[in-house]
Structure 1
């Protein structure tokens, strides 16, 4: 196929893999990030852009993989934003985790400027991003899906088309994040409880992952604790943000989410203890500090 111009704004652990996946599938990809080292590393795979506007110029598809709605707004509509550089009819694939209200507002502003907007939060982690095997929870107009489809095919193994209005994908993602945050907090509580009981926590991991109490998060995060490695695959601060959004939505809809609220407080306490930028399995370290327990040494933590 002729090379389609695409741009990726945000070359972090997820965005970098998504950009590489696009390049691998034949897209002419420009990438940029506030981290100059990430941009330089991407130069081996595509065009390293010095600014958002440079990356977006001429792009038919713009993928925005930043932290939250505020950053997405800056990327699109800030003084050096992409909206003024994109051609009319280009599609924005917005992959930051945000509230449905924020997704709806960003979509309305993009569409008012002649752009298509796909609300497309992602799940799967950095490895699946690099493999082009993400799960995408998307909603938007038929035209937005049609324009974005080649890029989605390159980046995703599973694409869920969840509705014709932006905001629906964001809502699905927040249900996922409620469960993800609760499961991480529960896994950290369980493994440190096992430590308090004097059990071999390596053996506990072996047993639980073969038993009904297992979860994807227990299986994925507990090895970080066993290895004493808290370098951030996914940081504590991500879940203070995401569970905070869940609680905001809970209040707005007058629906109680007490378990999510407890998990939110555990992440908040972990962040307050100086571990906000460390891996989210650091909740176990907070439990260990409270209980006076020794977990395997933290050899790669940021905190």
Structure 2
């Protein structure tokens, strides 16, 4: 444990997306563009929902919370990734690494739970429309958001505290482009097999259970939609739910592949590609999938633009 205490004052080094530095300028530009697109898209969606009274509904309230999480989520990793492309050291302090891991886990867990709550909202709206004002009241929506934030932050705090009190040794070179718990475990001098079971359980609870709830909700929604007599109603319901399911599937499947596999099956190269999908790509796609395929959002955008 003395080794662990000494390690607390030592910086980590991030390998980054690629070890070859010939593409650093191109990758910096690409990452900066993706960050700007994601940030502008999400903040535009938040402002539209805030300014247009027609979007003051539970579904769009939850969507605005998702956009806020996405803006914070991509801001946790991408600025550091972009800066490392232009830096020779690629170092991150022990405290900075711990904070990044905690915030990343908190926001990732919040997004996973919130996507599940959004599917519940669509299930109630389509399958039990008469009960919708009661089951999706403002108080319940706020409780959902608070529950997502509190439970994910508690989970993230426990994992962060445990991992960063372990003794780190070796080169302190993190073979990743940000501090993520699975990428830090190979640097630990102790056997972490027991702790990996805890990570597996957390991944199943935070990621798999909401994903299964989404699939179950939309299976029921599909049955109800197919029984609708109105083709317009079918088209609108399918469009809304398919957009949500597309984003959710990409986020959950990639997240599960990282947090439910044992350390021995992890590949740094594959982990980086998968991490790009759930930490950058889905955050860029979210506002456009929800807005471009949503007539109400596009109508609000046209009204705000005069």
**TM-score for both structures, normalised by structure 1:** 0.29
| Structure having the larger proportion of residues in strand | 1
Higher relative contact order (CA 8 A, sep 6+): 2
